[in-house]
Chains A and B, each alone.
Chain A
């Protein structure tokens, strides 16, 4: 199992620029989650998908954030325009539903720095 794969691992950008984070979930997993981790707020759920359909995006902080899942093996989280307060580590995680209480499988995250 390759695990959840995120890219890039690090992203440094200037305020106002568009940022796109990418995630490949574990094959066969039908739920995909995007989290954001900061020192101040800890780990926050932004949005999650089931079978490529967004189910709950109530954690998305602003309209500047958007997420898509065009197919079962790829998802993106886009920030446009980016702001310094968006600096954080963004994690993607996936599970296979219907298996009882499956643990989340996390990627290694993308560390975003907006200057």
Chain B
């Protein structure tokens, strides 16, 4: 079964608005990663947050992690049409850094309209 469950499953916003996606997981993790997948393409890594971190920023991305609630959120600020994609959280239970126990969530499909 999926380790990460994301919500919402789909999100439609207008360009310039912020988009927030949530991820919940079940077991303890070492780190949590977010990936983006454009239609017909492979997943692209966006950001990684470690279990001892609470918040991380990268450009227009802000990720939070609450290990007590086993949840994470991805915020995309000032969204653009090019942000239209599916977004996946992935939990890593491995302590070896080899992605051998990386489990992907169900994904949120984001549509940004002009």
Q: 0/1 per residue, A92-115, Cβ < 8 Å to B? A: 010101111111111111000000
A45 within 8 A of B: yes
State whether B98 touches A31 (Cβ < 8 A): yes
Question: Which residues from 90 to 114 on chain B have a C-beta closer than 8 Å to any C-beta of chain A?
Answer: 92, 96-100, 102-107
Q: Which of A14-22, A48-56, A61-69, A72-80 contacts B (4 or more CB under 8 A)?
A: A48-56
- What is the interface size of chain A, counting residues whose CB is below 8 A from a CB of the partner? 26
Are A108 and B42 closer than 8 Å at their CB atoms? Answer: yes
A42 contacts B by Cβ under 8 Å:
yes
Q: Answer whether A45 and B107 are a contact pair too, CB < 8 Å, given A101-B50, A108-B42.
A: no
Please list 17 pairs of residues, one from A and one from B, whose beta carbons are closer than 8 Å in the complex, sorted by A's number: A31-B98, A31-B99, A42-B2, A42-B106, A42-B107, A43-B43, A43-B88, A45-B102, A56-B100, A93-B42, A99-B97, A100-B97, A101-B30, A102-B99, A104-B35, A107-B42, A109-B41
- A34 proximal to B (CB < 8 A): no
Question: Which B1-19 residues have C-beta < 8 A from chain A?
Answer: 2
Interface size class of B (residues with CB under 8 A): 20 to 34
A interface residues with partner B (beta carbon < 8 Å): 4, 31, 33, 42-43, 45, 48, 50, 55-56, 91, 93, 95, 97-109
B residues near A, CB below 8 A?
2, 30-31, 33, 35, 40-45, 48, 50, 88, 92, 96-100, 102-107
Q: Which residues of B contact A31 (CB under 8 A)?
A: 98-100
Interchain CA distance A106-B30 in the complex, whole Å: 21
Known A104-B43, A106-B42, A106-B44; contact A43-B104, beta-carbon cutoff 8 A: yes
Report the bound CA distance from A26 to B44 in whole Å. 14
Give A97 Cβ to nearest chain B Cβ, in Å: 5
Given A56-B100, A106-B42; 6 other pairs, CB 8 A cutoff? A95-B98, A101-B92, A101-B97, A102-B99, A108-B40, A108-B42
**A107 vs B98: C-alpha distance in the bound complex, in angstroms?**
18
A95–B103 Cα distance when bound, in Å, is 15
